[in-house]
Amino acid sequence: MTNLALFNALGLAWQTIRNHKLRAFLTVLGVIIGTGTIIGVAAILTGFDASVAAILSSFGPNSIIVFKFPVGPRTTGLTAEERTRKDLTYQNAIEIRERCKSVADVSAMLFPNRDTINAHYHGNDMYDVNVIGVEEAYARGGQVDIHVGRFFTDEESRRKMPVAVIGADIEKGLYAGVDPLGKPINVDGREFTVIGTMLRPAASFFGDTDTRVLLPYGMLQKMYPGAHENAIVVTAVEGKLPEAQDEVRTVLRIARRVRYDKPDNFALSTAEQMVSDFRQITAITFLVMAVLSSIGLLVGGIGVMNIMLVSVTERTHEIGIRKAIGARRSDILIQFLLEAAALTGLGGVAGIVFGWAIAMLSRLIFPSIAAAVPMWAAVTGIVVSVGIGLFFGIWPANKAARLDPVEALRYE
């Protein structure tokens, strides 16, 4: 087929679609919905992936989070073995600090044994604040970005001083228009002096509030004698993260008396590992959505095949005339294939617009998720849509190409 013949075939395809706009739209509605859903999901997952990856990476490229079970996203709940694991202890943090040569800094984190803790200042209240007991090393490891004031020292922690460093939303909620430094804050019935405030983490999603109240580790121990749940933030020497992980694992296996033939009864998580785990989950989610959306594409493809068969029947006389004046079988075949491909291609473009609208709507609902249609998704949507037209248009096109010109001319 020459370029001129191809151009004419495309012109005929476009003219046929224009003459039957409503029929064409209803025919490719399944393609629009299927393509749009895949594009929309890809856009949302791309933005969500970027947000979560930034949050997890904020732990620091050289940081290791040690807890009794894995930290971060996971596809299943805790196993029976994980639920019965012993808590990490402050002594574990001391042993890591003393025995691991590839570790630059260690900070134990103690969590209160209370579900809900409230904070107050002069009639202003903040409910369900996030209270954690930490050491000075926690700030040195890059987990804290001070706004005003300072962080507490290890000496203040050892002396169990009643000082606190508060998050951005507590500063805004309790001390609006007031300098919080040196002011008291009542946390669960105990009074502390605010010595510093923190900036909100640069990466957050779903509008998370920064209601952190960081207290000296020793002070939280005194405040909640029954609190035993610890996590440990380990900062590795630059370039020695794998060695630090091995050393920490060895120290903890010895301290927790784990037999050589048994798996760890604790978890070491790095930002890179948590991002990798999260991307496995999003990949599964995208695969499931793609399979479900394929049903819409399949329905759209069947609709295209059906309408093309109708078109062949309607245009039987036209096909007979074209063959009588010299059109070859391949010319008729390509004409109907191009019509089917053009029809689903336009459906694919409409699907991309639909998917883009889904992405924009998600950004309005969740502003911190920068949902955006990735280029690969748009290109894939067009290619798949055109491919569906070609695949489901083969039978109608072949039927049209094989018509006998004499019988076609007799058709009324």
- pLDDT in single tens digits along all 412 residues of the chain: 555 555 665 666 666 667 777 777 777 787 888 888 888 888 888 877 777 666 666 666 778 889 887 766 555 667 777 778 888 999 999 999 999 999 988 989 999 988 889 999 988 898 989 999 998 888 887 778 889 999 998 888 889 999 999 998 999 989 988 899 999 999 998 999 999 999 887 554 434 578 899 999 999 999 998 888 899 988 888 888 889 999 999 999 999 888 888 888 888 888 777 777 777 777 787 788 777 777 777 877 888 888 878 777 777 777 777 777 777 777 777 777 888 888 888 888 888 888 888 888 888 877 767 777 888 888 888 888 888 888 888 888 888 777 776 666 666 5
Q: How far is CA 79 from CA 66, 69, 228, 278, 348, in A?
A: 18, 10, 21, 19, 44
Query: Which of 265, 285, 320 marks a domain boundary?
Result: 265
Query: Is residue 74 one of the residues assigned to a domain?
Result: no
SS3 117: coil
Long-range contacts of 392-396 (CB under 8 A, 24+ apart): 392/301, 392/302, 392/304, 392/305, 392/308, 392/340, 393/304, 393/305, 393/308, 393/336, 393/337, 393/339, 393/340, 393/341, 394/337, 395/305, 395/309, 396/305, 396/308, 396/309, 396/311, 396/312, 396/336, 396/340
CA distances from 234 to 56, 237, 250, 321, 332 (A): 15, 10, 14, 81, 71
Contacts 24+ apart (CB under 8 A), 261-265: 265/68, 265/81, 265/85, 265/86
Last residue of a domain, one of 265, 287, 316: 265
Using CA atoms, how far apart are residues 18 and 37, in angstroms rounded to an integer?
A: 26
Q: Are residues 293 and 247 in the same domain?
A: no
83's CB contacts (< 8 A; 6+ apart) are: none
Q: What is the pLDDT of residue 393?
A: 82
Please indicate, yes or no, whether residues 217 and 342 belong to a single structural domain of this protein: no
Instruction: State how many domains the chain has.
Output: 2
**76 part of a folded domain:** no
pTM score of the predicted model: 0.62
Same domain, 103 and 10: no
Whether residues 187 and 295 fall in one domain:
no
Tell whether 95 is covered by a domain.
yes
Contact 89, 220 (CB under 8 A): no
Same domain for 158 and 250, yes or no, is yes
Considering the domain architecture, whether residues 104 and 247 belong to the same structural domain is answered as yes
Q: Give me the pLDDT at residue 358, please.
A: 85
* pLDDT for res 152: 92
Q: Is residue 79 part of a domain?
A: no
Q: Say what the pLDDT of residue 12 is.
A: 64
Answer yes or no: do 310 and 227 share one domain. no
255 and 283, same domain (yes or no): no
Q: Do 250 and 293 belong together in one domain?
A: no
- Are residue 284 and residue 374 in the same domain, yes or no? yes
Phi, psi of 68 (to 5 degrees): -75, -20
**Whether residue 260 is found in the same domain as residue 281:** no
pLDDT for position 215? 94
Range of the domain at 29: 3-54+277-410
Q: How far apart are CA 40 and CA 392, in angstroms?
A: 25
Q: Is residue 24 part of a domain?
A: yes
Is residue 296 domain-shared with residue 386, that is, in the same domain? yes
Tell whether 113 is covered by a domain: yes
Kindly state whether residue 61 falls inside one of the protein's structural domains: no
Question: What pLDDT shows up at residue 192?
Answer: 94
Last residue of a domain, one of 205, 240, 265: 265
**Which residue type is seen at 386?**
V
